[in-house]
Amino acid sequence: MKKKPGVMIYFDMRRMVKLLTDEEKGKLFEAILDYGETGCTGELTDTLRIIWPLIQNRLDTDSLRYTEVGFKRKYAAYVRWAKEHHEAPKDY
């Protein structure tokens, strides 16, 4: 499976982020990028640990959706190939 090109940042996250200091915002941004790329966040401050589950849930949902779309596209390519070769494609 192809590696994800990045993560989504949503406007509704702004309400939580507004409550953070500039330093915390930078750490949160780094944690989002780290989690999106490696699945790890590193050390989070107490404040960031409070809001992290909400952000992590969005990142996990997006990641799952990205993976599912990738599988569906691969299956669609396989079905096209099977039809071109006059074979009955297997079920998804």
- Which parts of 1-65 are beta strand (E)? none
Q: What is the pLDDT of residues 35-72, one digit of tens each?
A: 999 999 888 989 999 999 999 999 999 999 988 988 88
What pLDDT does 69 receive?
A: 87
CB atoms within 10 A of CB 84: 8
What's the whole-model pTM score?
Answer: 0.73
The per-residue pLDDT of the chain, averaged, comes to 90
Q: What is the pLDDT of residues 13-29, one digit of tens each?
A: 999 899 999 999 999 99
Any idea what DSSP says for residue 19? T
Sign of CA dihedral 55, 58, 60, 62: negative
CB atoms within 10 A of CB 52: 19
**Cβ atoms 66, 4 nearer than 8 A:** yes
